[in-house]
């Protein structure tokens, strides 16, 4: 078994896709959209099913404002069936299936056993610009890591995060999200270079990477590896 995933679109077009993982996270996701909308930019939001269930209105605002949404699993853990569970929640609200899926923590093993992930219509999308915003507290460091990434070019897919892994609401709302302070300068900087900021549904994804099981399987939990082993895959 194998799967393909994409890290970028056509290099001969000046399109760049900003993607935001782990939301919805109201009101921060709304702030992200304000920044994008005020600059004529579109984004793609890879949401978690559990947060969509908790904040359905926040999720629906993403779709209503015309941004692109993708499936980023339900629990953000390496459980078999996690993409399928998320798709049921997301697709039910969206009224149609999602077309883009992002595996978390390089969790491609569970994709192999997900009908949703492996369906012909679904594109599994990674990124070629990874500023690791979740690990940076200084907005300027996020701006620099994005705009100065040597991989940044036409067709780039940039991975940012608008969500947080806190179940507790007070903790979630109190946790800093420096990406929000960085985002206006990131959008302005990209547009100043002539890039059009598009949703993944406006980008022709090319040159998929053929994924083969590798050492990154250690990201999967022991339970998942055991389950995959039982299914005949090779997770170890
Ligand atoms: Zn994630």
Per-residue model confidence as pLDDT tens digits over 86-113: 999 999 999 999 999 999 877 788 888 8
Q: Is the pLDDT of residue 232 over 80?
A: no
Question: Cα of 70 to ligand 1 centre, how many Å?
Answer: 12
Q: How confident is the prediction for the chain on average, in pLDDT?
A: 91
Residues with CB under 5 A from ligand 1 (ion): 21-22, 104
pLDDT of residue 197: 98
Span 162-186, mean pLDDT? 93
pLDDT of residue 225: 64
Question: Cα of 76 to ligand 1 centre, how many Å?
Answer: 6
Cα-trace Rg, the chain: 17
Question: Cα of 22 to ligand 1 centre, how many Å?
Answer: 5
Band of residue 234 on the pLDDT scale cut at 50, 70, 90: very low
Q: What class does CATH assign to 3-231?
A: alpha beta
Q: Which of 121, 150, 154, 122 is nearest to 17 (CA)?
A: 154
The pTM of the full predicted model, rounded to 2 decimals, is 0.91
pLDDT of residue 236: 45
Neighbours of 128 (CB within 10 A): 17
Question: Cα of 157 to ligand 1 centre, how many Å?
Answer: 15
């Amino acid at each position: 078994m194998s799967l393909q995933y994409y890290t970028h679109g056509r290099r001969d077009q000046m399109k760049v896709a900003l993607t935001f993982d782990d939301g919805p996270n109201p009101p921060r996701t709304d702030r992200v959209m304000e920044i994008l909308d005020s600059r004529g930019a579109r984004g793609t939001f890879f949401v978690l099913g559990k947060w969509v269930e908790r904040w359905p209105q926040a999720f629906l605002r993403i779709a209503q404002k015309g941004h692109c949404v993708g499936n980023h699993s339900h629990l953000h853990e390496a459980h078999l069936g996690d993409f399928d569970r998320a798709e049921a929640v997301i697709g039910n609200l969206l009224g149609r299936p999602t077309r883009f899926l992002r595996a978390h923590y390089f969790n491609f093993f569970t994709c192999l056993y997900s009908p949703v992930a492996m369906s012909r219509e679904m594109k599994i999308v990674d990124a070629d610009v990874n500023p690791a915003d979740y690990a940076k507290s200084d907005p300027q460091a996020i701006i620099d890591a994005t705009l100065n990434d040597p991989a940044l070019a036409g067709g780039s897919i940039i991975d940012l995060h608008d969500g947080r892994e806190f179940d507790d609401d007070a903790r979630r709302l109190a946790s800093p999200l420096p990406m929000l302070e960085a985002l206006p300068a990131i959008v302005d900087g990209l547009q100043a270079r002539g890039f059009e900021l598009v949703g993944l549904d406006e980008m022709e994804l090319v040159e998929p990477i053929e994924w083969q099981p590798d050492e990154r399987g250690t990201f999967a939990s022991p339970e998942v590896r055991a389950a995959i082993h039982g299914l005949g895959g090779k997770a170890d």
